[in-house]
Amino acid sequence: MDISKPTLGSATLPFPSAASIKPIWIYSDNTTLGGTTRRDIMARKYEYILSWDYMSVADYDSLETVINTLSYATFIYGKWPQSESPGVSCLGVLSERNLIYGVGDSSYLSSVTLTLTEVSSRI
């Protein structure tokens, strides 16, 4: 089975150089008078971190356009079942462009990291 490139809203991204998925638990631990610890889970969601060693100007601009709407976008990446089609709503944070190679205003490659956090809890 071929895995499609990740997408965020209208941006189709190149395959990342590195990617990780991290569960986020929002909870409260309480200890009873008898010494028993209880955990109250209020939310569970995922954070997706994708990095590219080399991203083109066009790909970065496309991604930046989605992030700069300052609202959530649908993230789909077939590599992880948590974000398979139809996707999940995420808010994103895009790193600055770190020039790696090239010159001019459109012919260079940047090192980039994208961090996406799911909007809604899964419980």
Domain locations along the chain:
7-31+38-118
Is 24's pLDDT higher than 90? Answer: yes
Q: What is the mean pLDDT of residues 24-53?
A: 91
Interatomic CA distance for residues 24 and 28, integer angstroms: 13
The better pLDDT of the pair 59, 107 is held by 59
What pTM was computed for the model? Answer: 0.84
Q: Is the dihedral of CA 106, 109, 110, 113 positive or negative?
A: positive
Residue range 47-62: average pLDDT? 94
Band (pLDDT 50/70/90 cuts) for residue 74 is very high
Residue 85 pLDDT more than 60?
A: yes
Going by the DSSP 8-state scheme, the letter that residue 81 receives in this structure is G
